[in-house]
């Protein structure tokens, strides 16, 4: 499948093979920091390709639903549900694809401090902390 564009499925598959070849080198594990970086990149590329494959399966499913609709079958609700799943997956993949820069693998430190305002600002800071923590956990980030 040649997607070209910003995702470039074929290039990512080649990158996965190249990174896997690097991990087979006996000297690879001599530099733990470099090994960790390569393994993160490999995991990231595998995840993107896997997500793309899932979206491709959904796309094929949507084409089948379209054929059923053209034949007069009552599958509109099912197709709309699949379409929603497809679009959410596409948006998530688009975001993951944007976060492929050199520094995007690094950790982030987020601090939330209440300002002046007494207990109200403290309550607001706690709500914001809880909201950010839940979002990060939902997205699979490690929160400490």
List Cα–Cα distances, 13 to 3, 4, 40, 115, in angstroms.
12, 13, 15, 49
pLDDT one-digit tens code per residue, 121-130: 999 999 999 9
pLDDT recorded at residue 5: 62
Range name among 41-45, 56-60, 98-102, 130-134 with the lowest pLDDT average:
98-102
Of residues 2 and 36, the one with the higher pLDDT is 36
* DSSP for the chain, written as a single string: ----TTT-HHHHHHHHHHHHHHHHSGGGGGSHHHHHHHHHHHHHHHHHHHHHHHHHHHHHHHHHHHHHHHTT-S-HHHHHHHHHHHHHHHHHHHHHHH--STTTTS---------SSTHHHHHHHHHHHHHHHHHHHHTT----
**Which whole number is the average pLDDT over 14-37?**
92
Q: Is the per-residue pLDDT at 63 higher than 90?
A: yes
Res. 68: pLDDT tops 80:
yes
pLDDT of residue 140: 80
pLDDT tens-digit readout, 72-93: 999 999 999 999 999 999 998 8
The larger pLDDT score, comparing residue 54 to residue 101, is at 54
Q: Which residues contact 123 (CB under 8 A, 6 or more apart)?
A: none
pLDDT confidence bin for 46, thresholds 50/70/90:
very high
Task: Let me know: does 51 contact 93? Beta carbons within 8 Å.
Answer: yes
CA dihedral 91, 14, 45, 106 (to 10 degrees): -120
Q: What is the pLDDT of residue 1?
A: 46
Contact 115, 121 (CB under 8 A): yes
Cα gap 52→7, rounded to integer Å? 9
pLDDT of residue 133 exceeding 60, the answer is yes
| pTM, to two decimals | 0.66
């Amino acid at each position: 499948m040649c997607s070209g564009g910003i995702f470039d499925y074929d290039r990512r598959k080649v990158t996965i093979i190249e990174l896997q070849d690097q991990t087979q080198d006996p000297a690879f594990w001599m530099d733990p920091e470099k090994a960790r970086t390569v393994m993160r990149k490999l995991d990231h590329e595998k995840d993107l390709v896997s997500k793309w494959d899932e979206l491709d399966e959904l796309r094929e499913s949507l084409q089948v639903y379209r054929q059923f609709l053209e034949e007069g079958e009552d599958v509109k609700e099912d197709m709309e549900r699949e379409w929603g799943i497809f679009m959410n997956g596409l948006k998530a993949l688009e975001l993951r694809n944007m976060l492929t820069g050199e520094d995007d693998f690094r950790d982030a430190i987020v601090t939330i401090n209440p300002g002046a305002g007494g207990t109200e600002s403290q309550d607001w800071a706690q709500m914001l902390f809880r909201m950010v923590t839940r979002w990060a956990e939902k997205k699979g980030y490690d929160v400490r």
